Structure 1
Amino acid sequence: MGASAQMEKVGTRLRLMLRALNSRNYRLFFAGQSVSLVGTWMQQVAMSWLVYRLTGSALLLGVVGFVSQIPTFLLAPVAGVLADRWKRRPLLLATQTLAMVQAAVLAVFVLTGTTPVWLIVALSALLGVVNAFDIPIRQSFVVELVEKKEDLGNAIALNSSMVNGARLIGPSIAGVLVATLGEGICFLINAASYLAVIIAIAAMRLKPVPQRPGRKHILHELREGFGYAFDFKPIRYILMLLGLVSLMGMPYVVLMPIFAKEVLHGGAHTFGFLMASVGIGAFGSTLYLASRTSVLGLGRVIAVAACVFGFGIAGFALSSSLVLSPLFLALAGFGAMAQVASSNTILQTIVDDDKRGRVMSFFTMSFMGATPIGSLMAGAVANRIGAQNTLLIGGAACLLGGALFGRELRNLRPLVRPIYARLGIIPEVAAGMQAAADLTCPPEDP
């Protein structure tokens, strides 16, 4: 009887963690993306190793990281306007198809042994342009796929678990394939993997979404979205912390081949193992977030997670042990994903529907757009003071940013609270008990 009750409790907990999958369209999206993202991570690992094998240059690693992500910083706001104006499904089908073509072209050149460095840079830049449009459109598209609004936070957490499950599997496979068959096979598998998400998106049955009346000039809508996002303190502070962590901390990825080869004295297998360690920590983070039932308390999670990420990066920079380095990276992966997914959930919850695409484009700029600048800086600085000192500085900056955000939470809570009340997230307010709610304000808002 006790065992039966325990099994029922586990089943209930599992259903709670997977509740967003009750929506058919989201199930299709989840399945297609799960396949495609494995290929994406395989390509990322293979690309970094290919560049370092051909050039042996930390600076060129930074350059490739820069050109693959700087278009996000420049073009994501335009993508946000398009996401608010046009139907998102055809836009996503177009971006996924273009990404598939890019991977296929790269595979052909690498497999035939005719891959000049300039071509790698050019194809990386092309993929960066595609991603600049794909990411904010895809982020805002998720809202259309979830039938129950209260399941949105769970869907975002499951998205993160999907990304990090792929981060766990993809680099591990890529490490083996690069060492045995070369980088080209990873690019070929990635090209094929895009078919899964293209088929899934095409098979969705979507409700008609009314077009926004009275469209204005694109520059006017950009200014409107920027003013909306940065005039509201909670959105502005979340985006600023994301930008800081992406600029100073996230570039550790482009320096990873140096640590694998020079610090830990390994090869492609070691590189894949280190990347998989990040995925393990991040996957654990998403399981924790998926088990949460409310957005309340995520503000504190953001602050703590940024500090955990900074500590993990600093520890990895100081380590020369093949045992400790993966542990620090797992800690960094946990912190990074907890911060990003919690930020995404709060933003998606508090933003007005007609400005969702633009706010998510600013989220993309902060999360993805600042990284290329940081990658270029990290590559240049690592050439002068070494990769380990570069990561130490970045880790310290993330720790400081998380601490400052945590100190500011008490000023942000009163601004977010009315939105939570209107949405029925705070139970006492939803029941009309405003006075009682004021006296018992949840200590973890927002």
Structure 2
Amino acid sequence: MFVLKNAWAAVMRRKWRSLLTLLIALLVTFGSMFGLAVTAENETANGATYDAQQANATITLSDKGFAERDGADPSWPDDHLMSWDDYTAFATAAQSAGLQFSYTVTESVPVRQSESIKPVGTADEASADDTGGELTLRGFYTLDAARANDLGRYRVVEGKHLSYAGRAPKGALISREVADANGLKIGDTFTVGHPTDAGTTLEMTVRGIYEYVDDEAPSGRGDDAELSKDNRQNAIYVSAYTFIVSNNLDSGEETGWAKPDLNIMFMLSSPDDYQSFVKAAKKADAELKDGYEISSPSLEAYRKSIAPLGALNDTMRITMIALWVAGGLLLVALVVSDGLRRREEIGYALTVGVSKARLGWQFMLEVWMVILPAFAIGALAGGFAAGPLGAALADGHATSMTADVVWTVVGAGLGCCLALALVAMLRVAAFRRISLFDSRSEVTA
């Protein structure tokens, strides 16, 4: 009890030094808990969680291929667009590699503006006879196809989503910008012109109004589009039933811009299967047309979703190193400097009969009285704050606390507490009784 009382009195005599020590230890512990939780979550997101993702594979124009495309050349689709036969070759290659997959389809054609609906954004210099039209009509076979839309994910903010069962044969989704520019609302009808026959019109009904979830459009598909049909705000989304049955836009005999831009998406079970699909496609007779590439919208979307987590992990890795180095050095410096300042106190205690073991134990307790509460508070605060703080800094991606992180911090923290206490105790152990007479000898001399 005597040692404990003396230790507490010593801590209270040096309040500012004790408070500074407590704050440093608390900060290092909190930062370690949160940083290691971010690291663990990032490893899981890029490891087990990534491996469990269902992957899809599409064969579409790359950004470079799209930039080199001549959107005002009526002969371009006949020479460059992928056909059903082209996709069949890739499907055959995947089957030969033993891959199991399903598929869904998206088809697109440009359509001409009318008095009832006009595009927004870029004003075309070329005529609709050359471009096929100022708007794009895109048909989705399934909801999966709509979710993999290469123009960006969208949400319906008014009205209803598309019906893929043919229950709304004329239902269409238009963008908020196009709806506002043309004064269109839910239930209104509008007409667009056929891409190669200005005299043929297609009538549709506004079923819903959409907005894109992502603010940034793909290159050449936003405000930077050279042709209005390429601006994603001018996309009209319909179901495959509306595209094929109601409007007869895929009879197999179309040419020019009336030929549908076909995008068959292969749906695979894992990222490994996606890589196998890519390898099989390269080895088989299936040949990519110029400007096309194989990609996985689902895996790209997943990587994009965890990118903020990766950036936070990079930041926290540097922050933790800085905390460990600076915090460790400061704590050691505070403990050592405190011991050096107490030469006379140590000498007096030894002179009146206090043993080095007892005094060393007191010095160790002084360290623990400050460090251990700071460690406990920092660990608890870091553990409870990891989830919400991670969500706030990683764009909604929560960083949950795991048992491995907790035990790592507890083990390392207790080890550091013991090390600092031993440093304090060594000051007593290294004290030489004869040094008490050094100053007196100097005066005598």
Q: Shorter-normalised TM-score: what interval?
A: under 0.3
TM-score normalised by L of structure 1: 0.24
TM-score normalised by L of structure 2: 0.24
Structure in which a larger fraction of residues adopt strand: 2
- Specify the structure having the higher radius of gyration (Cα): 2
